[in-house]
Chain A
Amino acid sequence: MKILNLFGAEGKMMYWSLRRYMFNTVAMVAVLFLIFMGMFWGVKTIGGSGVTGDSLDSMLVGYILWVSAMLALGNTGGEILSESQRGTLEQLYLSPLGAHRIFFFRAIVNILFNFIIMTIMLYLSMAATGRWMTINLLYLYGMIFLSTLSLVGISFMMGGLGLIHKKISSVNGILSFGLIGLMLLPTYPMTPYAFLPFIAGAAAVRNHIVLGATFPGWWYLFIAANSIFYMVLGLVIFKKMEKKAKRLNKMNQY
């Protein structure tokens, strides 16, 4: 019950912040849409008639996957940085439920909020390009949720580093752009790349939605295990860094 109240508090915090910074929220959707349209017209102009409907669909789904991954990856590290700058980080550490739970639920709320943004972006893009796909949103978001949990784990590792080193946004940037390349790697039936975080889930989403590919149940279990592994690893490293930050009295410093 206490955990549900914590989840509710993070949901409310997200709602209050969005309401107060409404312009920022609208601008975020607009920027994501404009970037996609820029890419779309670029590909159309360069590729001409060689650009098929499938490759455009793949581009749109790939873009949604990449944006979701980028936002999940930067979440905990970014939150720790901004809490530290605001001077509220130590108050979160006074919660008897533990700061790691606060940041975990904050990440979940962020992922869920991103789904709303992505849906708006998705339909805006389809309307603007005139290419309408039949998308199973439940599958899309269910799989994104499952596979981005591995990136939340990576984000916790970055957050742990952030507790000590504070400015880690450039590392986040490198990881986010590195993901673009990694997401194109083959993973199924079972390649070594499948053991990297997020990649196997992203490939499954793209192939299922764009090409209609189906996968056996064990593949989804593998994706879930991959996410759990990185999530646990992230939490363990985060807790270790937290201990170090407490030893060095770095918690309140920015």
Chain B
Amino acid sequence: MSQNCIQVKNLSKAYSDITAVNNISFEVPTGEILGILGPNGSGKTTTLKSILGLIEFDKGSIEVNGLSIKKDRNEILTNVGAILEGARNIYWHLTPMENLTYFAGIRGIPKKDITDRAKYLLESLKLTDVANKEIRQFSAGMKQKCALACAFIHDPSILLLDEPTLGLDVEITRTIMDWLVDVVKKEGKTILITSHNMDFIETICKRILIIRKGEIISHETVESLKEKFARKHFLIDLQDKPQKSLIESVSSFGSASTSGNTIKIELETLDHLLPLLKTLDDAGIKMLNFRSMENDLEDIFLEVIREETE
């Protein structure tokens, strides 16, 4: 299980004068889900597409199951499925069943060999009732579930998913997340996934790679990231929007920011808590709510990105 399924070494790619990916290296062990986080334009998609051989990279090497993507791409693709960001990935004028048959067919797999697999995928993604309906009529979530089914139809052991929940509501995101976790548990897939949805990444990934401006700035397990950045912050809901002068005075106790009527403050030490509350009281500020929060993955991500910028 510890064997590396995907091995990226010193990968670099530039588009004329813009560096998309700069000398990055990482591995994905067999059976693991690795999440890639990063702001827009950080190089996530370029990395994924380089692994799929959809982009020709300038320097470095990529191996999948010990095979080079430059030399053995076709052999690698027999065992890889993908969902690409910003694309439909499937034919909307066809039905889910027709799409599954077609995508298996262009991989050289006849319909009779995918019947059980198609049935299982449609059933587990709750698409059986609409299996013979034109996809055009479906909601965005159902369309994305069909795209997932097509990416899984040839039973690949490696999946590359670029923003699979982009633009989907909370309920469908949860469904897809649960489904992926279940599939990984049952079928032991190796997955490389990018997403802006931190809950999604936190739930399904063991390790996270954070990329910024084409460079890896963090590569750790979710646990160690959380441990490293484990900080408490406080959210104070006020009756009125806080004045600039108030923010300046509470900033002496720690890093403070505002969002609407709420002040978010990360205290340098817990000893500052009482003086902070006294300052608010002295200023005649009416507090509606006071909450203590742990840093979640989103806070950690923003902190890592901020640290690197500074």
Contact A91 B105 (CB under 8 A): no
Of A20, A89, A102, A249, the residue contacting B106 (CB under 8 A) is A102
Is A171 positioned at the interface, with any CB of B under 8 Å from its CB? no
Contact B56 A246 (CB under 8 A): yes
Is B187 positioned at the interface, with any CB of A under 8 Å from its CB? no
Is B93 positioned at the interface, with any CB of A under 8 Å from its CB? yes
Contact B54 A12 (CB under 8 A): no
Complex: how many Å from CA A61 to CA B255?
82
Please provide the chain A residues from 226 to 254 with a CB less than 8 Å away from any CB of chain B in the complex.
243, 246-249, 251-252
Is A95 positioned at the interface, with any CB of B under 8 Å from its CB? yes
Is A54 positioned at the interface, with any CB of B under 8 Å from its CB? no
Is A6 positioned at the interface, with any CB of B under 8 Å from its CB? yes
Contact A5 B105 (CB under 8 A): yes
Instruction: List residues of chain A with CB within 8 A of the CB of B93.
Output: 16-17, 20-21
Contact A243 B56 (CB under 8 A): yes
Please provide the chain B residues from 148 to 171 with a CB less than 8 Å away from any CB of chain A in the complex.
150
Is B74 positioned at the interface, with any CB of A under 8 Å from its CB? yes
Complex: how many Å from CA A91 to CA B106?
10
How many whole Å from A24's CB to the nearest CB in chain B? 11
How many whole Å from A177's CB to the nearest CB in chain B? 30
Q: Which residue of A lies closest to B81 (CB)?
A: A94
Contact B56 A98 (CB under 8 A): no
Contact B106 A3 (CB under 8 A): no
Contact A91 B77 (CB under 8 A): no
Is A34 positioned at the interface, with any CB of B under 8 Å from its CB? no
Contact B89 A251 (CB under 8 A): no
Complex: how many Å from CA A6 to CA B81?
17
Of B102, B108, B150, the residue contacting A96 (CB under 8 A) is B108
Complex: how many Å from CA A48 to CA B165?
68
Is A131 positioned at the interface, with any CB of B under 8 Å from its CB? no
Contact A95 B106 (CB under 8 A): yes
Contact B89 A91 (CB under 8 A): yes
With A91-B87, A249-B49 known to touch, is A96 a contact of B101 (CB < 8 Å)? Answer: no
Q: Which residue of A lies closest to B109 (CB)?
A: A5
Instruction: List residues of chain A with CB within 8 A of the CB of B106.
Output: 6, 9-10, 92, 95, 97, 102
Of A1, A94, A246, the residue contacting B55 (CB under 8 A) is A246
Contact A5 B108 (CB under 8 A): yes
Counting chain B residues whose Cβ lies within 8 A of the other chain, the interface size class is 35 or more
Contact B86 A88 (CB under 8 A): no
Is A8 positioned at the interface, with any CB of B under 8 Å from its CB? yes
Complex: how many Å from CA A92 to CA B78?
13
Instruction: List residues of chain A with CB within 8 A of the CB of B86.
Output: 87, 252
Q: Which residue of A lies closest to B78 (CB)?
A: A96
Instruction: List residues of chain A with CB within 8 A of the CB of B109.
Output: 2, 5
Contact B87 A12 (CB under 8 A): no
How many whole Å from B200's CB to the nearest CB in chain A? 22
Contact A252 B74 (CB under 8 A): no
With A2-B108, A94-B52, A95-B77 known to touch, is A9 a contact of B84 (CB < 8 Å)? Answer: no
Interface size on A, residues (CB 8 A): 35
Is A188 positioned at the interface, with any CB of B under 8 Å from its CB? no
Is A13 positioned at the interface, with any CB of B under 8 Å from its CB? yes
Instruction: List residues of chain A with CB within 8 A of the CB of B103.
Output: 91
Please provide the chain B residues from 74 to 94 with a CB less than 8 Å away from any CB of chain A in the complex.
74-75, 77-78, 80-82, 84, 86-94
Contact with B along A48-92 (1 / 0, CB 8 A): 000000000000000000000000000000000000001111111
Q: Which residue of B lies closest to A105 (CB)?
A: B106
Instruction: List residues of chain A with CB within 8 A of the CB of B78.
Output: 96
Instruction: List residues of chain B with CB within 8 A of the CB of A247.
Output: 55-56
Instruction: List residues of chain A with CB within 8 A of the CB of B46.
Output: 249
Instruction: List residues of chain A with CB within 8 A of the CB of B77.
Output: 94-96
Complex: how many Å from CA A249 to CA B134?
31
Instruction: List residues of chain A with CB within 8 A of the CB of B108.
Output: 1-3, 5-6, 96-97
Complex: how many Å from CA A252 to CA B83?
13
Contact B107 A97 (CB under 8 A): yes
Complex: how many Å from CA A94 to CA B106?
9
Contact B105 A6 (CB under 8 A): yes
How many whole Å from A183's CB to the nearest CB in chain B? 34
Is B110 positioned at the interface, with any CB of A under 8 Å from its CB? yes
Complex: how many Å from CA A6 to CA B56?
26
Complex: how many Å from CA A86 to CA B90?
8
Is A93 positioned at the interface, with any CB of B under 8 Å from its CB? yes
With A9-B105, A20-B93 known to touch, is A87 a contact of B110 (CB < 8 Å)? Answer: no
Instruction: List residues of chain B with CB within 8 A of the CB of A2.
Output: 107-109
Of A3, A5, A97, A251, the residue contacting B74 (CB under 8 A) is A97
Q: Known contacts A10-B105, A88-B90, A249-B49; can you find 14 more A-B pairs with CB under 8 A?
A: A3-B108, A6-B105, A6-B108, A8-B105, A8-B110, A9-B105, A12-B98, A12-B101, A88-B87, A89-B87, A98-B74, A247-B56, A249-B15, A252-B84
Provide 11 A-B residue pairs closer than 8 Å at the C-beta atoms, listed in order of the A residue.
A1-B108, A5-B105, A9-B101, A10-B105, A12-B101, A12-B105, A87-B88, A91-B82, A91-B150, A96-B108, A97-B74
A-B pairs, 5 with minimum CB distance? A9-B105, A2-B108, A87-B87, A87-B88, A96-B77
